[in-house]
Structure 1
Amino acid sequence: MGILWCSWEELRTRMRPVSPDIALPDASLSVHSEEVDFDELAEVCRSGEPVAIYKDGQWVGVLGPREFTELLLDLCRSQRAFFEQVLDIVQEAVTVIDRRGVVRGWSRTAEQIYDIPAQRILGRPIDRFFQPEALAVLRLLRDPKPVRQVYHAPRENTHVLLSGGPAMVDGQMAGAVASEKDITQLVRMHQELQRTYRQWMADQQLRHGDRDPFDTIKGGSPRLLHAIRLAKKVAPTDATVLLQGESGVGKDLFAQAIHAASRRSAGPFIALNCAAIPGPLFESELFGYQGGAFTGADRSGRPGKLELAHGGTLFLDEIGELPVELQAKFLRVLQDQTFYRIGGTRPIQVNARIIAAGNQPLEDLVAKGRFREDLYYRLNVVRIFIPPLRERLDDIPVLVETFLEDLCAAYGRPAPHLEPDFLVALMRHPWSGNVRELRNVLERLVVTVEDESWNSGHLAMLLQAGGPEAGHLVGSPSGETAPQRLGRPGAGPGTARPDGELILEALRKTGGNKAAAARLLGISRGTLYNRLRSLGLDPRAFDSAMGLGGLRG
């Protein structure tokens, strides 16, 4: 169904009914339902001649040019009412412009965000109200590529996520539509959170007394807090705990916190990654061996992880990878709390709490015959689900603050200022590697980026080599990163410091506008000035050397 639709009832009331004095026209339209194909109706009426209307095979009336025009006007008025209602109730700032940049639609939310009444802006060029270089919707007229959820700052202290696209009629540009979701409050909350977190960290350093073991788990999302509350509740007991969550969510932090908050905190915390041990070595790693038990064995023997964890906690990560042939032996340990070393004849008593973790549901492995059902029930006394990072995006700011504090101290680097679009870019990334991936990305930025401020351009350039997910992370409205926008194949991934050639090309493409060139490069304007000076170029005298006739910005 097109943007204009017509019911049989609307068509019937407009056409002239069949009568003896009406001749049968040459053109005709057949209607077989209660909905009329308006595109077909418009095409058959294009000639300006009367049209015979058939309903279910019977000639029932004639639609002349005047009747069609009146019908068309009625439908347009109806569509205008729908259009105005959409603009009134939609929760985004919607802007509609024609091919000349004149505003034809302006939603109520746009009025509120920009404090510009519709009656003031409708019918006027949009560049009278905004700086042209700040208008993404105008860029759609020049480069008609749809954009989705791109960070944009159309005005100072206004931050939005922009989606938009061109309006095409018969392959020709008719205008453009943009929808902006206001995230100004989110950005301000992040800035306030940064200040509050720094103050909190300063207060923490002045505090004395015991520290909550769960303080190492950063975040405040409801699902994470639920997991922490459950972990705190079970920590003082000796109940077996099963931690469930994707790789990189922090299952090891939960295990260590549960141990530290337990009655066994003075005892050892022994971790074993079941996926990292080759099958033939697994039994000796878990149970240990007697001296001379096999060729190459230490003559004095060696205790296994179970024995080492006596009086403390044994953390078995990736428990789903425990070899099937060892699952029965491990089940007996849980039941009897005794085991034998390989080659040993003396039973060894063990008193260790078991915390297991996995990144796939054990019940699925049970169904596939890869995990014993009885062992599953032994381990699944208390199960704690740890949410992935993509389901707790509100925690990203505090995680970033925590990681940057540690990383900057470790590498002797000053803490960077984070621009609002940097945070938006982080929250748009899918984070398949979860918290571990976030920390890795920040570590690479700390090591490679020398700028005092970080923005989305730094992140996009760093992640170009990070796989297909990185391509749509941040950048220009087209989703391209700085080197791609400049059309420079030689600009490789991770180019955190644009060289002279890249800077010159950016300035040429922006007509010498330094502010626009800096945005294109993903750096601040101040950084661009510093780079020009480091290349031995005076920004004020630079325009004559490039033949730009006076650089702007």
Structure 2
Amino acid sequence: MLHLKNVMEPVKECLFPETSLIQTIKFMKKTKWNTVPVVNQSGKLIGVFTRSSLYNMLLLELDYSTPIENFIKNDIGTTNQHKELNNIEEGISKSEVGTGIIVDDDRKPVGILTPQTAAKNYIKNTRLLKEQLEIILNTSNLGAVMTDESGRIIFVNYVVTKMINQPAHTLISNNLQMIIPNLNLSGDEREATYQLKIRENTYIVRLSRYRKTRENHGYIALFQNTSEIENLAQELKIVNRLKRVLQTIIDHAYDGVVMINEEAKITFYSPQLIELFELENETINGNHVDEVLPQLHLSNVLKTGVADISELMEKKGIKYMIHRIPIYQDEQIIGVVGKIVYRQLHEVRERFRSYESSERGVKNNKTEESKFTFNEIITEDSQMKKLIKSGYKAGKGNTTILIRGESGTGKELFAHALHSSSFCGQGPFITVNCAAIPEHLLESEFFGYEGGAFSGANQKGKIGKFDLANGGTLFLDEIGDMSLPLQAKLLRVLQEREFYRVGGTERIGVNVRIIAATNKPLEDMVSAGTFREDLFYRLNVISVELPPLNRRRKDILLLSEFFIEKLNKQNGTSILGWEPLVEQVLLEYDWPGNIRELRNVWERAMIFAESGKVKLEDLPDYLLKKVGYDLGFEDSEDEMCDFSLMERAEQFAIQKALVQANGNKSKACKLLGISRSLLYDKLKKYEFEVCE
């Protein structure tokens, strides 16, 4: 766009109020200006002195030494030098002197613009614009014809003359119907489209009206060869098909993909990338990669230009690695592609393990040791936090500890943590499941046996669990299932710190800490005579009661997050979370199997999940039935088979919303995010009782 400073006549000198008449005459003769800016001592414009002012002073026969200050005109139009040429009409129109004074930001005159100067520049720019438009039209292969209000041709470009094989001078002044026979200019339509056959080519003609004056309109006709349009359409169709194919491949590939340009701004990303790193679409495209995904280090490749592969990284237990690949064009790096590989790494790792094991014959002969600490017990429950705090203190000593709680509450995990916090934490941690070993073998498992002690015994003998646990901890799981005779021998070891091997006569001293666990009511067993009272009190020095999961509801989601991460590593899955309805079900269920059941449910759900999030249909059917029953659904087989799993989930959501809203259907609609009419349709479908 052209600005005033490019077309104005520069002002280097100005008049002052004290300038004399003779000096003014000489100045105007030299500059040939009819209007001269007048400034103050600071150089700021205060008015103009015109040729008519000069005539007035001469007619009054004033002395040539008279200053011009009383003949200065103050009512003038000014325009800033930065304005565009086509925006000066208002400024100049205010001037009574027919000349526009151009000023800078400090109101100091920098130029003048007369009507003659403006007209000359308009003509010059019009010619330039005409030449530019002709170049644009010719290079775009668009034919262009312009007419006056009667339809007579006043302009044709080179493309049109080539199109109809006639020179321009034979077309000028002829009617446009000479080129477009079926043309109708009598209508009021501002635009029209025609199809025109010229020799072997077909053209689309777009006719538009333009305003010549306030009363008259002319026409512009643009000609486009349809073969070019068809070729473009075909190319576009091929490109769109290729794009859909590539997008399908990317959407269903195992890998996440991200692309950045030479400014390190993200220009492309795949859905798997959003899923893995839990991003929002609006935070990705167009943003700097180091702000959104700094862990990928893609911007480094822009500097080095060298492709590389990262070390193994981890996100929520999901191992992944990054291929960083530079993109070159004419030996200039124009971007980087980051390929995130994660879903198949688990399978590759397992196959390598199997291969290395078979090649090297690796066998694991490590001594049993503790696997967990109190720091690895995940909880937000106040009771559990209190037990952990007590466990830290109890673990420091060598006192026997009895851990009680329902099956699956984490008794063995707590025992590991107690051992790890004790002074013998570096020693062995030996586990004996008293319910899993046959009773006739339990004594030999505990104390070992001498060679030939009984039929079928190893001639070299065998050391027992107490020997293995010497200097460490012996964890007796399911202690309530131990027989009475073995209880008596265990009591002796606890009291005397020594024992005899089966078939042996030599006393063997041992330094072992006992941690026992049970899910049975030992006090009732003592009363019934199935558990020795003296052993009970010997074990029950420090007793820890682990609460069931249904009394630790704050931990359900916390443990779920932990299991997702752990099971992703174990099974090679790529689960990042769950849908809201799943969360409601998890919190409503009673979890009779406690943490063990929660883990099993997650393992099953993650295996069956078909996306990055676990959905309601991925949960076990028995769990959904139980929750639905507790919320008031009928549990009959006939009714359950009437609806799909998703429909039953919908039933659950509606029932849950009605319970939370205390039967208020308007509130239930807000909770469900549906209209009142849709709610009534659903209530009717599932045969809920509809009442106001």
TM-score (norm 1): 0.48
Which structure carries more relative contact order (alpha carbon 8 Å, separation 6+)?
A: 1
Q: Which structure has the larger Rg?
A: 2
